[in-house]
Structure 1
């Protein structure tokens, strides 16, 4: 099913869409806009899935074991010291 719709484009958008039709890449302006909307729909769906996955990851991390800031500082200092020894960097 198709729905007719009136839209407004900037001069730059119109010129770009027309160049795609004139080059034979798309059969009509309608095809160009349909493809653009499909890509936007896919992008939006992907962002929704990624945001949900990130939210899940954050929640798992918040619900997981925690260490104190002092312990984290100690672990980071030990890691830096190990790396310095590996590359033999003077402190």
Structure 2
């Protein structure tokens, strides 16, 4: 299955500057993985970008949930800040 079949046609551009040695290393690694240079570089970059966006969305959702009922999420100051204890109490 080709890149275009999975992700659609490539129409946007990203220009990067790097050393000649860095470019040679990327090309060699892409050849070893039997990928073109663009796919080799973009695959991990897009995976990382998706994870960053997912975590940001999750954090925003948590903050919105807390904002709707903030008193529900106030920590009891009598309890020590111990994640293990908190997990045990929740279980």
TM-score by length of 2: 0.49
TM-score by length of 1: 0.49
